[in-house]
Amino acid sequence: MTKKRITVSAAIIFCYVTFLIFMLGVKNHQAWINGYDQTIYRWIQPLHPSFDQFFIAFTKIGNPLNMTVLTAVVMLILVIGRHWRLAIFLGLNNGLGSLFNHFVKHWVLRPRPSQKLIPETGYSFPSGHATAAIMFFGSLIVIGFCLVHTKKQRWLIVGLALLLIFLLGLSRLVVHVHYPSDVTAGFLLATANLLVHWLIAKRTYLKQYYSTAPNFS
């Protein structure tokens, strides 16, 4: 097993284990969850009210309909460019991400916070927007690395994707439709799922991209 594979495997285990700790903490109403949430709420308190309108608008990017449209557009572009395997990778990630999120939400059954700045329905844990952000923009990082072979452009893709992921997760806290533990758990679960799928895909239906770009593996 290569050093990189060991690192990725360790990251997957860490994400799943930490997610399970958060999930059980929320499910069993453990005191440390409330402490975690209140600490992060205090950190972001200075953003109110100056940035409320910005985040109210920004958080709409992660709405299910908008993410579905974005995914469909990117998949269409990939198919037209004869990269249908990458389109499948993106589509599977977003579909499976939503499925996992749905099942966990309906097992944990955590109500959303009160005093929301925007109307929102459904359960709170884990954050669907955080999950979607990782699955969509994380997939774009993988796709970018498969199609772009200059180091500078690759890191530009990574930087932009991570910024958008961070802002989308933060937006859910600013508009007060999720607890910080919801967003953290969404990031952890989605990251683990994305990495597992990536490891499988790069050895199966995406193998051709890695055989032609060995410096990425």
Q: Which residues of 170-186 are buried (b: 16+ CB within 10 A; e: fewer)?
A: bbbbbbbbbbbbbbbbb
Residue 27: φ, ψ to 5°: -60, -35
State yes or no: pLDDT of 217 exceeds 50.
no
Domain edges within the chain: 3-39+55-216
pTM of the complete model beyond 0.75: yes
Over residues 147-167, the pLDDT tens digits come to: 998 899 999 999 999 999 999
State yes or no: pLDDT of 29 exceeds 50.
yes
pLDDT in the model for residue 212? 57
* pLDDT category of residue 214 using cuts at 50, 70 and 90: very low
Provide the sign of the torsion angle of the four alpha carbons 88, 20, 122, 116, taken in this order. Answer: negative
Q: Are 176 and 40 in contact (CB under 8 A)?
A: no
C-alpha–C-alpha distance, residues 99 and 116, integer Å: 25
